[in-house]
Amino acid sequence: MRTHIYQCDNDRSCYKSHNGAVRAENVSGYPIHPYKLCKKKCTFASSKEHEEKQVNIVILKTKQNIEKTFKMSKKVLFAAILAMAIFLGQGVKAQDSIFSYAYQGNTLYYIINSAGGAVVVPPLWPDYDEENDATWTGYTEPSGAVVVPDSVPFGGTMHAITEVGHDAFYNCEMVTSVSLPASVTAIGSYAFGKCFSLTSLTIPEGVTEIPFSCFYYDSLLASVNLPASLTFIGEYALSKCFSLTSVTIPESVTEIPNRCFYDDRLLAEVNLPAGITFIGERAFTNCFALQTIIFPNSLTTLGYYAFGNCYSISEVSIPGSVNTIGEWVFSQCRNLQNVTLGEGVETIGYCAFRECVNLEHINIPSTLKEIGDYAFQYDSALNVDFILPEGFTTLGWTVFGDCVSLPTVSLPGTMTEIPGEDFWGCASLANVTIGEGITTIGEETFVNCTSLHQLVLPSTLESIGDSVFNGTTQLDTLVLKCSVPPTVGNGVFTNYNTLLIVPCSSLNAYQSHSVWGLFGNIVEDCGTAIDEYDAPDINIYATDGHIIVKGADGETVRIFDINGKSVRNSDLPSGVYIVIVGNRPAKKVLVMK
């Protein structure tokens, strides 16, 4: 979709989308009336062309305005109208006369377009007070159940109603329903915006577009039937319809645009067609009642904050066709419990699942390569062994901060750093694997991980940031595989009672180090300390005098002391033990009490 953006010096951003609807948006993201365009000199910028041009935007509304502004001859005037109409993508319409017609208790206003069809317009069209949205000032607004006739008389001829023009019923607060004839094939922007009493409307077959803000802020609109002929829905089209409970998107629609259903607080059911490829920014934000959303395999884009604050969604399955889960997409979905990610998902964006406080399970596809900052922060129910695949490269900042139920994390060697605060406050985290290849552990990574008893640091580790183990009071054993002591930031340890196991022949280097030398118990591993399984599915660690083996899945587990004597896995004394799982190679584990 080609979008032209006009950055005006009155702090508005205006654009003309591919369907020709002109729209303005203020800096806070809420729509300004779509026909309030800046008439000053603006900077033109294209989303596909990285260039800027200076253009003068002049809105030509009526012959009188044009003649007054330019004092042209009629021949030159017609050429100007035609050129500007083409530029704005609005087409040329016969807008010389506006007339009224009373029908079934309501008087509506019309013009005749160039094709001879009648268009419903507001009575002050086109010169109403745009700044104050005054489209009916001085006229009796329609009210109650409005029936638009099939045709109206003008100039001795009956003209079929073919279009509801922009702003036709805008701000008509007493209209409760509108019946449109089958001859209507087009509806303009804001046509039914702010009809605060409108409860239902059926859009005729043949209408192909629901443009920008068409039903914006229709707070009592409980149902709207979208025709099978529909191919395009504009931004804000059904935004702030507080009473809307369900909607079915026709099969011919492929995009749900930005803020389309934003703040539809009672919307509980949305049926997406099989061909949907795009769900835009904030498309369903604040749809508090939305319980279920099924994404088709055609979907490729989940935009910023698309389902933020959808408090009732309990489960989502994201197909592998979605390469990137956008920023904040499911943040604060408080009832979300289960997430399934398809093979093909590569990126989980910034804050994507932040504050999903009931999220318990999420699977990790083998294609995952990146998780953005704060992606799972405050997901206090997350209770899954989080095993990141080989090929994963980038972990953001504070990704699992305060995930107090998270038990296990495995970080592959295809990463190079743990940036910082990633496991802050993970009080249940007892088992962490840090892959060979990681060189940096950033500041405050394991702060207040009070269940972490032992940790193995890879031979590739070069630096440990400030306060990494601050408050990690139960850390009994720290195994360092790096012969050169890593550099250490400020306040990394709260105490120095932890047992350090260091590589053979590196004892002097650690004992003479300004920080590592503060530990009172440093021993060399010359073949009697801990080993780890290469296979990520097997996890072995010791706690409270027991050896825990995860992932054995029915395989026989045998435990021997360092002299080869079989022992019971109960109340084991401190020492090194040999563990054999099935026919796998023997591994050693250190038990500390």
Q: Is 146 helix (H, G, I), strand (E, B) or coil?
A: strand
Residues in CB range of 307: below 8 A, 6 or more apart: 283, 284, 285, 287, 290, 293, 313, 316, 329, 330, 333
Rounded CA gap, 239 and 87, in Å?
Answer: 28
Strands (E), 403-445: 408-411, 417-418, 431-434, 440-441
Return left, alpha or beta for 15; rule: phi > 0 is left, psi -120 to 50 is alpha, else beta.
beta
Reading the chain (593 residues) residue by residue, the pLDDT tens digits are 323 233 333 332 333 333 333 344 443 444 544 443 332 323 323 222 332 332 232 332 333 333 333 333 333 333 443 344 433 444 334 545 899 999 999 999 999 999 999 999 999 888 777 667 778 988 999 999 999 999 999 999 999 999 999 999 999 999 999 999 999 999 999 999 999 999 999 899 999 999 999 999 999 999 888 999 999 999 999 999 999 999 999 999 999 999 999 999 999 999 999 999 999 999 999 999 999 899 999 999 999 999 999 999 999 999 999 999 999 999 999 999 999 999 999 999 999 999 999 999 999 999 999 999 999 999 999 999 999 999 999 999 999 999 999 999 999 999 999 999 999 999 999 999 999 999 999 999 999 999 999 899 999 999 999 999 999 989 988 999 999 999 999 999 988 988 898 998 999 999 999 999 999 888 887 754 455 555 567 888 888 788 888 888 888 888 887 656 778 888 888 777 888 888 777 677 877 65
Distances (CA, A) of 105 to 140, 142, 152, 384: 11, 8, 15, 64
The residue assigned the tokens 């995009």 is: 255
DSSP labels, 516-539: GGG-S-EEEESSSS----SSTT-E
- Of 342, 259, 368, 338, the closest CA to residue 304 belongs to 259
The DSSP secondary structure of 21-63, one letter per residue, reads -EEEE-TTSPEEPTT----SEEEEEESSS--EEEEE------H
- What's the pTM value of the predicted model, to 2 decimals? 0.75
Report the chain's C-alpha Rg in angstroms: 33
User: Per residue in 81-105, is it b (16+ CB within 10 Å) or e — as a string?
Assistant: beebeeebeeeebebeebeebeeee
How far is it between the farthest Cα atoms of the chain? 111
* Residue 157 neighbours by CB distance under 10 Å: 10
Q: Which helix (H) or strand (E) holds 575?
A: strand 575-581
Least Cα distance to 43 among 83, 17, 13 occurs for 13
Phi, psi of 131 (to 5 degrees): -65, -30
Token look-up 């400030």 returns 466
Helix (H) or strand (E) holding 162: strand 157-164
Convert 169-231 into a string of H (helix), E (strand) and C (coil): CCCCCCEEEEECCCCCCEECCCCCCCCCCCCEEECCCCCCEECCCCCCCCCCCCEEECCCCCC
